[in-house]
Amino acid sequence: MTDSVFICNQSDIDDPGSRGFTVKYHDEDINGFVVHKNGLFFAYRNSCPHTGSPLDWVEHQFLDMEGNLIQCAVHDARFNIENGLCLAGPCTGESLRSLKILQQGKKLFIQL
């Protein structure tokens, strides 16, 4: 059995843009973020594969200045938005852990 948890409305995230979230699932806090790019939504755990640290240092800011890549604030690693693959930095070739995102109407949910 799977559960889904409401994250935000689609209109809460610019295109391109990102939004962080924390949801409680059983006894675990799941920290993640959603990226909106070209009308599509992608979700990942907020944990760098290099150190396990959160990627954002400013709330809801996960993208580089151009809005083309996910950027780790700790050591400047850059990740592909569509698949979470690290393209540059100390974790090149590793990937972010994706989360399944569901769209229901104008609302976004994470499937757990």
Three-state SS for 12? helix
| Domain spanning 4-111, CATH class | mainly beta
Which comes out higher in pLDDT, residue 91 or 1?
91
Tokens 């070739």 correspond to what residue? 93
Average pLDDT, the chain: 95
Does residue 35 contact residue 69 with C-beta atoms inside 8 Å? Answer: no
The whole-model pTM stands at 0.94
- Distance between CA atoms of 84 and 106, rounded to whole angstroms? 24
In the chain, what are the domain boundaries? 4-111
**pLDDT tens for residues 17-60?**
999 999 988 888 999 999 999 999 999 999 999 999 999 989 99
